[in-house]
Structures are given as C-alpha cells and as structure tokens.
C-alpha cells in the first residue's frame, strides 16, 4: 500500500491530486515491470513536491536497473536529506553495501 507524502502545499488540492496520481502510476508501473515508466512518473512527482517516498522509489528503480553509481546514490542522498525517513541508517547501509560490491 502506497502512502502519500504530506508535502504538497496546503490549500492546493489540484497539486496534491497530481502528486498522488504520479506516485500511484509510478508504483503501478514498477509493480508491472515497466521501470522506465515508473521512473518517469516518480520523477514527475518529485518535480511537483519532493518526498522521501518518491526518492526512495527512484533509488530502488536505479538500483534494480543497474544504475547504482549515479541514480541510486543521488536519489538516496535526496531521501536522506529530507530527514523524515524512519529507517535511513539501514537503507543507507543497504545501498552503500550494494554500491561498493
């Protein structure tokens, strides 16, 4: 189950709906195996309103597709910078281990 970030500006229901749609479509595409569509939808959601959930999804997609050196590290850095991810230390350790082989 996807949880929607509470990061869209208050009082802007259209932007929140666009954000929810982009994250939902990205997650559905990821589940369906269309990683390119998933990545584009999640990057769109980040343009609307940066969220830790979207950055973590982007990091995972980059990791799965083998773009570990650039995409994963950048997305994970942004997720950590938002400082609201409860399990940042374990997630960071996972990606650091994956990146160093």
Query: CATH code at 37?
Result: 1.25.40.10
Mean pLDDT, residues 35-45 taken together: 81
Domain that holds residue 73: 13-100
In a domain, 55, yes or no: yes
Q: What pTM was estimated for this model as a whole? A: 0.51
**pLDDT by residue (tens digit) across 67-94?**
655 666 666 666 656 554 444 455 556 5
In a domain, 7, yes or no: no
Per-residue DSSP letters for 34-96? -HHHHHHHHHHHHHHS--HHHHHHHHHHHHHTT-IIIIIHHHHHHHHHT---TTHHHHHHHHH
């Amino acid at each position: 189950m996807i949880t929607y970030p509470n990061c869209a500006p208050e009082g802007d229901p259209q932007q929140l709906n666009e954000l929810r749609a982009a994250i939902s479509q990205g997650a559905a595409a990821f589940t369906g195996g269309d990683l390119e569509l998933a990545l584009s939808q999640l990057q769109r959601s980040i343009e609307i309103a940066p969220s830790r959930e979207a950055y973590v999804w982007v990091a995972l997609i980059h990791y799965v597709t083998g773009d570990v050196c650039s995409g994963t590290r950048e997305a994970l850095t942004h997720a950590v910078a938002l400082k609201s991810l409860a399990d940042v230390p374990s997630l960071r350790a996972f990606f650091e281990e994956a990146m160093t082989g």
